[in-house]
Amino acid sequence: MPILMKETRKLIANNKKAYHDYFIEETIECGIVLSGTEVKSLRLGKGSIKESYVRIRSEEVFILGMHISPYEKGNIFNRDPLRERKLLMHKKEIRKLQGKLSEKGYTLVPLQVYFSNGKVKVEIALAKGKKLYDKREAIAKRDAEREVERSFRERQK
């Protein structure tokens, strides 16, 4: 009788700005190559993907601009906080992404970094950039929904 393990997911870093700047078309979960001290630093929650982006080079996927603070007790084993890190994906998935990226306006952006069953995972998205008027429209829609919710709560009292 197999034992079913519940998947645990502990969020490390979130990229809220990506949802504001892009239309998210598709999301992909992938692994990431890290050193030991980087994992320890991430366990302490010291990682950021705010200014990071994803590139495909010679059928390999890399995340650039991801900041992982040096581990305090790591001394000589610490790596550069902003070094580029390889993402782990199947060749078939990478080729599929390359095909989509060749279309105009598409890009790859990281959305989340989290622990899944003890392993660090990165959720990246195939996204299309928003124009300024799209951003304004999204903000106006969100404000209108807040106003409706606020008035609904006031009527409940």
Domain that holds residue 63: 9-130
Quick check: is 2 in a domain? no
Quick check: is 46 in a domain? yes
In the prediction, which pLDDT does 157 show? 67
Quick check: is 29 in a domain? yes
Question: In terms of DSSP H, where are the helices of 85-131?
Answer: 91-101
Of the candidates 7, 9, 16, the one whose C-alpha atom is nearest the C-alpha of residue 111 is 16
What predicted TM-score, i.e. pTM, was given to this entire model? 0.75
Quick check: is 34 in a domain? yes
Residue 69 identity: S
Q: Which residue's entry shows tokens 């982006």?
A: 53
Total count of residues recorded for the chain: 157
Conformation bin of residue 145: beta by default, left when phi > 0, alpha when psi is -120 to 50? alpha
| Mean of pLDDT values over 105-133 | 86
Q: What are the pLDDT digits (tens) for 83-112?
A: 888 899 999 988 888 888 888 888 889 999
Is the C-alpha dihedral spanning 56, 53, 11, 40 positive or negative?
positive
Say which residue, 77 or 72, is predicted with more confidence: 72
